[in-house]
Amino acid sequence: MSARSSRRWGRRPAWLLWLASCWLILAAGSAAASPRLVLVDGADAPALHQALQISLAPWAIEVVDWPADPSGADAAAVAERANARYVVWHDGRELVVLDAALAQRDTRPLEAMPQDEATASSVALSIKTMLRLPPALPARAESARWRWLPSARLGGRVGFGGDGGGGLRAQAALEVQPPGFAGVRLGVVAELGDASEVSRGQFKGEWSEWSAQASVAREIPVRTFVLAVQLAGGVSRAALTGEEMRTSRTEVGTSACGSVSALASRALGPLTLGVLTSLTVRGAAHFARANGTSLWQEPSTLAAVMAQVALPL
Protein backbone atom coordinates (compact mmCIF):
# COMPACT_ATOMS: atom_id res chain seq x y z
CA MET A 1 0.00 0.00 0.00
CA SER A 2 1.37 3.39 -0.93
CA ALA A 3 1.95 6.15 1.63
CA ARG A 4 -0.86 8.25 0.16
CA SER A 5 -3.31 5.33 0.30
CA SER A 6 -2.33 4.61 3.90
CA ARG A 7 -3.09 8.17 4.97
CA ARG A 8 -6.42 8.19 3.14
CA TRP A 9 -7.58 4.97 4.78
CA GLY A 10 -6.27 6.24 8.13
CA ARG A 11 -8.65 9.18 8.01
CA ARG A 12 -11.78 7.18 7.29
CA PRO A 13 -12.39 5.87 10.85
CA ALA A 14 -12.30 9.45 12.19
CA TRP A 15 -14.78 10.67 9.58
CA LEU A 16 -17.05 7.67 10.13
CA LEU A 17 -17.06 8.17 13.91
CA TRP A 18 -17.80 11.89 13.56
CA LEU A 19 -20.56 11.43 10.96
CA ALA A 20 -22.18 8.61 12.94
CA SER A 21 -22.11 10.72 16.12
CA CYS A 22 -23.64 13.73 14.34
CA TRP A 23 -26.38 11.53 12.85
CA LEU A 24 -27.26 10.11 16.26
CA ILE A 25 -27.33 13.61 17.77
CA LEU A 26 -29.67 14.96 15.09
CA ALA A 27 -31.90 11.87 15.29
CA ALA A 28 -32.16 12.24 19.05
CA GLY A 29 -32.96 15.94 18.65
CA SER A 30 -35.89 15.26 16.33
CA ALA A 31 -37.25 12.63 18.69
CA ALA A 32 -36.80 14.60 21.91
CA ALA A 33 -37.68 18.19 21.01
CA SER A 34 -38.73 20.19 24.06
CA PRO A 35 -40.46 23.58 24.34
CA ARG A 36 -38.14 26.53 23.90
CA LEU A 37 -38.54 30.26 24.50
CA VAL A 38 -36.29 32.76 22.73
CA LEU A 39 -35.53 35.91 24.71
CA VAL A 40 -34.34 38.52 22.24
CA ASP A 41 -31.38 40.55 23.50
CA GLY A 42 -31.43 38.38 26.61
CA ALA A 43 -27.71 38.92 27.08
CA ASP A 44 -28.52 42.56 27.92
CA ALA A 45 -31.14 41.52 30.49
CA PRO A 46 -29.55 38.69 32.52
CA ALA A 47 -31.94 39.26 35.45
CA LEU A 48 -34.97 38.61 33.22
CA HIS A 49 -33.32 35.54 31.68
CA GLN A 50 -32.75 34.05 35.14
CA ALA A 51 -36.25 34.97 36.33
CA LEU A 52 -37.79 33.29 33.28
CA GLN A 53 -35.76 30.13 33.86
CA ILE A 54 -37.11 29.93 37.40
CA SER A 55 -40.67 30.86 36.45
CA LEU A 56 -40.91 28.39 33.54
CA ALA A 57 -39.00 25.50 35.13
CA PRO A 58 -42.19 23.58 36.11
CA TRP A 59 -43.11 23.42 32.39
CA ALA A 60 -39.58 22.33 31.35
CA ILE A 61 -39.37 25.26 28.91
CA GLU A 62 -35.82 26.11 27.89
CA VAL A 63 -34.91 29.81 27.77
CA VAL A 64 -32.29 30.83 25.18
CA ASP A 65 -30.90 34.23 24.25
CA TRP A 66 -31.05 35.59 20.71
CA PRO A 67 -28.99 38.56 19.52
CA ALA A 68 -31.22 39.80 16.68
CA ASP A 69 -34.11 42.23 17.12
CA PRO A 70 -37.19 40.83 15.33
CA SER A 71 -40.00 43.04 14.19
CA GLY A 72 -43.20 42.15 12.41
CA ALA A 73 -42.98 38.85 10.53
CA ASP A 74 -39.29 38.46 11.43
CA ALA A 75 -40.21 37.04 14.83
CA ALA A 76 -41.70 33.94 13.20
CA ALA A 77 -38.45 33.44 11.29
CA VAL A 78 -36.48 33.68 14.54
CA ALA A 79 -38.75 31.04 16.09
CA GLU A 80 -38.16 28.75 13.12
CA ARG A 81 -34.37 29.19 13.12
CA ALA A 82 -34.14 28.66 16.88
CA ASN A 83 -36.58 25.72 16.82
CA ALA A 84 -38.60 27.60 19.44
CA ARG A 85 -42.31 27.91 20.09
CA TYR A 86 -42.18 31.27 21.87
CA VAL A 87 -40.34 34.52 21.08
CA VAL A 88 -40.21 37.40 23.57
CA TRP A 89 -38.86 40.86 22.79
CA HIS A 90 -39.18 44.55 23.69
CA ASP A 91 -40.56 46.84 20.99
CA GLY A 92 -40.66 50.54 21.81
CA ARG A 93 -42.75 50.70 24.99
CA GLU A 94 -44.26 47.25 24.69
CA LEU A 95 -43.36 43.72 25.70
CA VAL A 96 -44.27 41.37 22.85
CA VAL A 97 -44.78 37.60 23.09
CA LEU A 98 -45.23 35.44 19.98
CA ASP A 99 -46.63 31.91 20.13
CA ALA A 100 -45.31 30.58 16.81
CA ALA A 101 -47.31 27.34 17.02
CA LEU A 102 -50.62 29.22 17.23
CA ALA A 103 -49.46 32.29 15.25
CA GLN A 104 -50.71 34.49 18.11
CA ARG A 105 -49.13 37.65 19.44
CA ASP A 106 -49.75 39.37 22.76
CA THR A 107 -48.45 42.67 24.14
CA ARG A 108 -48.13 44.41 27.48
CA PRO A 109 -46.90 47.93 28.32
CA LEU A 110 -43.21 47.94 29.27
CA GLU A 111 -40.95 50.98 29.24
CA ALA A 112 -37.66 49.04 29.17
CA MET A 113 -36.20 45.60 29.78
CA PRO A 114 -35.80 45.05 33.55
CA GLN A 115 -32.32 45.08 35.06
CA ASP A 116 -33.06 44.41 38.75
CA GLU A 117 -34.26 41.10 40.19
CA ALA A 118 -37.55 42.38 41.62
CA THR A 119 -38.73 43.96 38.37
CA ALA A 120 -37.46 40.99 36.36
CA SER A 121 -39.49 38.58 38.50
CA SER A 122 -42.62 40.66 37.94
CA VAL A 123 -42.06 40.78 34.16
CA ALA A 124 -41.37 37.04 34.09
CA LEU A 125 -44.72 36.38 35.77
CA SER A 126 -46.43 38.57 33.16
CA ILE A 127 -44.75 36.61 30.37
CA LYS A 128 -45.83 33.34 31.96
CA THR A 129 -49.42 34.59 31.97
CA MET A 130 -49.16 35.68 28.33
CA LEU A 131 -47.98 32.20 27.33
CA ARG A 132 -51.28 30.68 28.49
CA LEU A 133 -49.56 27.55 29.71
CA PRO A 134 -51.38 24.36 30.72
CA PRO A 135 -51.19 23.05 34.31
CA ALA A 136 -47.58 22.72 35.46
CA LEU A 137 -45.67 19.47 35.56
CA PRO A 138 -45.13 17.94 39.01
CA ALA A 139 -42.53 19.94 40.90
CA ARG A 140 -40.27 16.93 41.38
CA ALA A 141 -40.13 16.10 37.66
CA GLU A 142 -37.51 18.75 36.88
CA SER A 143 -35.47 18.27 40.05
CA ALA A 144 -35.22 14.52 39.40
CA ARG A 145 -34.33 14.91 35.75
CA TRP A 146 -31.12 13.50 34.34
CA ARG A 147 -29.73 15.86 31.70
CA TRP A 148 -27.93 14.12 28.82
CA LEU A 149 -25.39 15.69 26.45
CA PRO A 150 -24.25 13.59 23.46
CA SER A 151 -21.58 15.31 21.37
CA ALA A 152 -19.34 14.80 18.34
CA ARG A 153 -15.94 16.45 17.90
CA LEU A 154 -13.59 16.77 14.94
CA GLY A 155 -10.21 18.45 14.75
CA GLY A 156 -6.44 18.07 14.66
CA ARG A 157 -3.80 16.72 17.00
CA VAL A 158 -0.01 16.96 17.38
CA GLY A 159 2.30 14.70 19.37
CA PHE A 160 5.29 15.51 21.58
CA GLY A 161 7.93 13.45 23.33
CA GLY A 162 8.17 10.87 20.55
CA ASP A 163 7.41 10.16 16.92
CA GLY A 164 4.19 10.93 15.04
CA GLY A 165 0.84 11.13 16.79
CA GLY A 166 -0.51 14.02 14.73
CA GLY A 167 -3.33 14.21 12.21
CA LEU A 168 -7.09 14.30 11.96
CA ARG A 169 -8.95 13.07 15.07
CA ALA A 170 -12.59 12.48 15.95
CA GLN A 171 -14.31 12.01 19.29
CA ALA A 172 -17.73 10.78 20.34
CA ALA A 173 -18.81 11.64 23.88
CA LEU A 174 -21.83 11.06 26.08
CA GLU A 175 -22.17 13.10 29.28
CA VAL A 176 -24.86 13.25 31.94
CA GLN A 177 -25.67 15.76 34.67
CA PRO A 178 -27.11 13.88 37.66
CA PRO A 179 -30.03 15.41 39.61
CA GLY A 180 -28.84 17.77 42.33
CA PHE A 181 -25.41 18.33 40.76
CA ALA A 182 -25.90 21.54 38.79
CA GLY A 183 -22.96 22.34 36.54
CA VAL A 184 -21.28 18.94 36.98
CA ARG A 185 -21.13 16.46 34.10
CA LEU A 186 -19.99 12.84 34.14
CA GLY A 187 -19.30 11.02 30.90
CA VAL A 188 -17.33 8.77 28.59
CA VAL A 189 -15.41 9.76 25.47
CA ALA A 190 -13.90 7.66 22.67
CA GLU A 191 -11.31 8.96 20.21
CA LEU A 192 -9.67 7.66 17.04
CA GLY A 193 -8.15 9.07 13.88
CA ASP A 194 -5.21 9.17 11.52
CA ALA A 195 -2.47 6.57 11.50
CA SER A 196 1.14 7.84 11.42
CA GLU A 197 3.37 6.45 8.69
CA VAL A 198 6.54 4.65 9.81
CA SER A 199 9.46 4.33 7.40
CA ARG A 200 12.75 3.44 9.06
CA GLY A 201 15.36 1.49 7.15
CA GLN A 202 13.73 -1.64 5.78
CA PHE A 203 10.61 -1.28 7.93
CA LYS A 204 7.54 0.19 6.26
CA GLY A 205 4.25 0.48 8.12
CA GLU A 206 2.08 2.65 10.33
CA TRP A 207 1.31 3.43 13.95
CA SER A 208 -2.31 3.94 15.00
CA GLU A 209 -3.95 4.72 18.34
CA TRP A 210 -7.40 5.03 19.87
CA SER A 211 -8.50 5.74 23.42
CA ALA A 212 -11.49 5.48 25.73
CA GLN A 213 -11.79 7.60 28.88
CA ALA A 214 -14.20 8.40 31.69
CA SER A 215 -14.60 12.12 32.35
CA VAL A 216 -15.84 14.65 34.87
CA ALA A 217 -16.46 18.29 33.92
CA ARG A 218 -17.44 21.49 35.69
CA GLU A 219 -19.48 24.16 33.86
CA ILE A 220 -18.91 27.89 34.38
CA PRO A 221 -21.58 30.15 32.75
CA VAL A 222 -20.14 33.38 31.31
CA ARG A 223 -22.91 35.58 29.87
CA THR A 224 -24.15 33.76 26.74
CA PHE A 225 -21.29 31.24 26.76
CA VAL A 226 -20.56 28.22 28.92
CA LEU A 227 -16.98 27.37 29.81
CA ALA A 228 -16.22 23.84 30.99
CA VAL A 229 -13.07 22.33 32.48
CA GLN A 230 -12.84 18.56 32.09
CA LEU A 231 -10.60 15.90 33.61
CA ALA A 232 -10.52 12.40 32.11
CA GLY A 233 -8.69 9.12 32.54
CA GLY A 234 -8.72 5.76 30.81
CA VAL A 235 -6.81 3.55 28.41
CA SER A 236 -4.97 4.13 25.14
CA ARG A 237 -4.65 1.26 22.66
CA ALA A 238 -1.89 1.52 20.04
CA ALA A 239 -0.69 -0.75 17.25
CA LEU A 240 2.48 -0.76 15.15
CA THR A 241 2.00 -2.75 11.93
CA GLY A 242 4.17 -3.19 8.85
CA GLU A 243 6.85 -5.24 7.16
CA GLU A 244 10.57 -5.53 7.83
CA MET A 245 12.75 -7.55 5.48
CA ARG A 246 9.59 -9.11 3.93
CA THR A 247 8.43 -10.25 7.36
CA SER A 248 5.14 -8.94 8.71
CA ARG A 249 5.32 -7.35 12.14
CA THR A 250 2.47 -6.32 14.42
CA GLU A 251 2.86 -5.03 17.96
CA VAL A 252 -0.12 -3.98 20.04
CA GLY A 253 -0.02 -2.39 23.47
CA THR A 254 -2.38 -0.82 26.02
CA SER A 255 -1.34 1.99 28.34
CA ALA A 256 -2.98 4.33 30.82
CA CYS A 257 -3.80 7.87 29.72
CA GLY A 258 -5.19 11.03 31.24
CA SER A 259 -6.26 14.38 29.84
CA VAL A 260 -7.32 17.87 30.82
CA SER A 261 -9.59 19.85 28.49
CA ALA A 262 -11.19 23.27 28.24
CA LEU A 263 -14.40 23.83 26.27
CA ALA A 264 -16.12 27.07 25.29
CA SER A 265 -19.64 26.57 23.91
CA ARG A 266 -22.81 28.47 23.08
CA ALA A 267 -26.38 27.40 22.33
CA LEU A 268 -27.50 27.87 18.73
CA GLY A 269 -31.07 26.72 18.27
CA PRO A 270 -31.46 23.14 19.52
CA LEU A 271 -27.70 22.50 19.27
CA THR A 272 -24.70 23.65 21.26
CA LEU A 273 -21.56 24.54 19.29
CA GLY A 274 -18.14 24.90 20.82
CA VAL A 275 -14.36 24.65 20.59
CA LEU A 276 -12.39 22.21 22.74
CA THR A 277 -8.67 22.20 23.50
CA SER A 278 -7.09 19.25 25.28
CA LEU A 279 -3.75 17.96 26.54
CA THR A 280 -3.32 14.20 26.97
CA VAL A 281 -0.51 12.29 28.66
CA ARG A 282 -0.11 8.55 27.99
CA GLY A 283 2.31 5.71 28.63
CA ALA A 284 4.69 5.53 25.66
CA ALA A 285 6.40 2.38 24.38
CA HIS A 286 9.65 2.17 22.43
CA PHE A 287 10.05 -0.23 19.50
CA ALA A 288 13.37 -1.51 18.14
CA ARG A 289 14.26 -2.96 14.76
CA ALA A 290 15.53 -6.52 14.29
CA ASN A 291 19.14 -5.34 14.57
CA GLY A 292 18.42 -3.55 17.85
CA THR A 293 18.43 0.02 16.55
CA SER A 294 15.56 2.38 17.30
CA LEU A 295 12.46 2.00 15.15
CA TRP A 296 9.65 4.04 16.75
CA GLN A 297 9.10 5.98 19.94
CA GLU A 298 5.43 6.52 20.78
CA PRO A 299 4.50 10.11 21.69
CA SER A 300 3.95 10.65 25.40
CA THR A 301 2.07 13.95 25.15
CA LEU A 302 -0.72 14.84 22.72
CA ALA A 303 -2.35 18.25 22.17
CA ALA A 304 -5.59 18.69 20.21
CA VAL A 305 -8.02 21.40 19.11
CA MET A 306 -11.50 20.28 18.05
CA ALA A 307 -14.83 21.74 17.00
CA GLN A 308 -17.80 20.29 18.89
CA VAL A 309 -21.49 19.91 18.11
CA ALA A 310 -23.73 18.74 20.95
CA LEU A 311 -27.42 18.26 21.66
CA PRO A 312 -28.63 18.86 25.24
CA LEU A 313 -31.48 16.49 26.09
Question: In CATH, what number is assigned to the domain containing residue 165?
Answer: 2.40.160.20
* Maximum mean pLDDT: which of 83-92, 141-150, 205-214: 205-214
Residue ending a domain, among 120, 142, 164, is 142
Q: What is the pLDDT, as a whole number, of residue 12? A: 57
Strands of the chain (E only): list them: 36-40, 62-66, 86-91, 94-99, 104-109, 147-160, 167-177, 184-193, 196-200, 203-222, 225-244, 247-268, 271-282, 286-288, 294-297, 301-310
- Residue among 119, 103, 144, 140 at smallest CA distance from 52: 119
Q: What is the C-alpha to C-alpha distance for residues 46 and 221, in angstroms, rounded to an integer? A: 12
Q: What is the pLDDT, as a whole number, of residue 29? A: 53
Residue 21 domain-assigned (yes or no): no
Q: What is the C-alpha to C-alpha distance for residues 222 and 210, in angstroms, rounded to an integer? A: 33
Q: What is the pLDDT, as a whole number, of residue 6? A: 36
Average per-residue pLDDT for the chain: 84
The answer to whether the predicted template modeling score (pTM) of the entire model surpasses 0.85 is no
Whether 243 has a pLDDT exceeding 70, the answer reads: yes
Is residue 151 domain-shared with residue 112, that is, in the same domain? no
Residue ending a domain, among 142, 172, 191, is 142
Whether 294 has a pLDDT exceeding 90, the answer reads: no
Percent of the chain at pLDDT > 70 equals: 83
Percent of the chain at pLDDT > 90 equals: 45
Residue 12 domain-assigned (yes or no): no
> What is the domain count for the chain?
2
Residue-range definition of the domain harbouring residue 125: 36-142
